[in-house]
Amino acid sequence: MTEHRPFTLPPGNGAKVCVGGGAGFIGSHIAKRLKENGYKVTVVDWKENEFMKPEEFCDEFILDDLRKLEVAVRACKDCLQVYNLAADMGGMGFICSNESVLSFNNTSISMNMLEAARRSKCRDFFYASSACVYNEAKQEDPENPGLVESDAWPARPQDMYGLEKLYAEEMALAYGRDFPLNIRIARFHNIYGPRGTWKGGREKAPAAFCRKAITSTVEYEIWGDGLQTRSFTYIDDCVEGVLRLTFSDCDVPINLGSTEMISMNDFAAVALSYEDKGHLPIKHIDGPMGVRGRNSNNVLIMEKLGWEPTTKIVDGLRKTYFWIKGEIEREIKEGNTADFSKSEIVQQVEDSLLQLGNEESTV
Ligand code: NAD
Ligand code: GDC
Ligand code: GDD
């Protein structure tokens, strides 16, 4: 492995920063690290964090809807930096079943956070983009050689979630050209770890695979034939990468992902290995498969940051597995009798649009 460039997060000394979607999985991990380093962190999210009290990861918590510009403007006021991690999102089952709502919600959030950062004369703006921006034609073979940043154009993302991310990247880059705002964009490759969503339909493969491995007794279900491939990135690597990037001078979108690619069949075997459940037969069922093969190419991140994610699947997934096991035991003790050995596909069209319709916007 090439040696990594050293990095120390500059001390905050009370500088104000805003984390949009900071009660979510990645946002809360980033907010906590910034707070621990002396930044005064404002989190804005329309949901509370399930696992931590606000004072554990931020100094101010604004419980509100970032689809409203005035909420974003209030949250970004006087901030040196803005990290936009807010999005209506989930794993494959979720993003392909909720395309209209995700388009509306995420376009509004992305626009509002960027404009709010400009109005507040913030110095740096981080945007959480996704490997979902990449052209589907480059992801039809399970033996994916690694997506290079330029593979996003000409554009043909698989779904609206990815197209919105690509548009939001371009909008941010335009703001960076027109105004004195440093734009930093990372394309995340399937981030996983403790405190990530693990049930309810929004979970991605790593959490779903652990949950199913813990609770399956007769057979183990996988959507698709299991030959589809991905690389998965452990949360600590993600946080480290976001901070290194935001404090760097890299002004182009870069991959933030592991290059350890694995098929879903092999990934299931890893999940089943922690408690010797490898004997369970795999049952392949119909389900949303997403792209056929996806991996990160890390040449650009190495060139720009002198660093790349290093956590191995077997290590990161072990921590995730035992964290989920604890959560399941807690839920069972509290009386939850749900069948956790199956993954759900949920549609939230009505809920989400009604929520907006019920509220008056002052913009
Ligand atoms: P998450 O769902 O845990 O966090 C997103 C947060 O945004 C949630 O807490 C949610 O309540 C909040 N949010 C959604 N709509 C909102 C609104 N209208 N107003 C205020 N808050 C709102 O997801 P995550 O995994 O932490 O993802 C963070 C960011 O990274 C997202 O932009 C996501 O698209 C991107 N991303 C994540 C992954 C991944 O694998 N986790 C991969 C690629 C990109
Ligand atoms: O959901 P995901 O992790 O999303 O799915 C990976 C693969 O695992 C898919 O082929 C899916 O069909 C398969 N799979 C099998 N069983 C299950 O029970 C299951 N649950 C899930 N979730 N998957 C299962 C994602 C987007 C994110 C994000 C990342 C960026 O696509 O959903 O929003 O931006 O990409 O990398 P994935 O990797 O296709
Ligand atoms: N989620 C999930 N749950 N996926 C399953 C399951 C299951 O129970 N069983 C099999 N899979 C398969 C999916 O069909 C898919 O082929 C693969 O596992 C990975 O699924 P996800 O983890 O849900 O999604 P993804 O990797 O295709 O996309 C995720 O990462 C992208 C960025 O890399 C999503 O979170 C996207 O929104 C994101 O942009």
Ligand 3 center–CA 177 separation, angstroms = 34
pLDDT given at position 350 = 57
- The sign of the dihedral angle between the CA atoms of 62, 67, 72, 74 is negative
Q: Which residues participate in catalysis according to the annotation?
A: 161
71-85, 242-256, 346-360: least confidently modelled range: 346-360
Helix (H) or strand (E) run with residue 45 in it: strand 40-45
Q: In ligand 2, which atom is closest to the CA atom of 290?
A: 39
Give pLDDT tens digits for 326-355: 999 999 999 999 999 999 999 876 565 555
pLDDT given at position 356 = 58
Residue 66 to residue 25: CA distance in whole angstroms:
17
Domains of the chain: 16-193+232-261+295-312 (3.40.50.720)
For the chain, give the mean pLDDT: 96
User: What's 103's DSSP letter?
Assistant: H
CA angle 363, 175, 163 (to 5 degrees): 80
Give pLDDT tens digits for 128-159: 999 999 999 999 999 999 999 999 999 999 99
Instruction: Count Cα neighbours of 190 within 13 Å in the Cβ-side half-sphere.
Output: 26
pLDDT at 281 over 80: yes
Ligand 2 center–CA 167 separation, angstroms = 22
pLDDT given at position 348 = 77
Query: How much of the chain is helix, strand and coil, in % rounded to 5?
Result: 40, 15, 45
- Closest residue by Cα to atom 19, ligand 3, is 205
Probe target for ligand 1 pocket from 85, 147, 165, 353, with the most ligand atoms within 8 Å of CB: 85
Quote the tokens at residue 61.
């918590």
Which has the closest alpha carbon to 290: 204, 164, 220? 204
pLDDT given at position 351 = 60
**Ligand lying nearest the CA atom of residue 18:** 1
ipTM of the complex: 0.94
User: What's 151's DSSP letter?
Assistant: G
| Percentage of the chain modeled with pLDDT above 90 | 95
Ligand 2 center–CA 264 separation, angstroms = 10
**Ligand lying nearest the CA atom of residue 46:** 1
Give pLDDT tens digits for 23-77: 999 999 999 999 999 999 999 999 999 999 999 999 999 999 999 999 999 999 9
Residue 29 to residue 240: CA distance in whole angstroms:
10
Q: Average pLDDT, stretch 253-281?
A: 98
